Amino acid sequence: MTSQDETTDSKTKEETDESAAIASGDLPKVDFSTFVLSLGTTALYQLGAVPDPASGESVEADPLVAQQTIDTLEMLRDKTLGNLEDSERQLIDSLLYELRMRFVESTR
- Between the alpha carbon of residue 38 and those of residues 32, 42, 49, 72, 107, the distances in Å are 10, 6, 14, 12, 22
Q: 9-45 pLDDT, tens per residue? A: 544 555 566 556 556 667 778 999 999 999 999 999 9
Q: What is the pLDDT of residue 7?
A: 42
Contact 38, 76 (CB under 8 A): no
pLDDT over 90, % of the chain: 64
- Could you tell me the pTM of the whole model? 0.73
Query: Residue 26 has what pLDDT?
Result: 75
Mean pLDDT score across all residues of the chain: 85
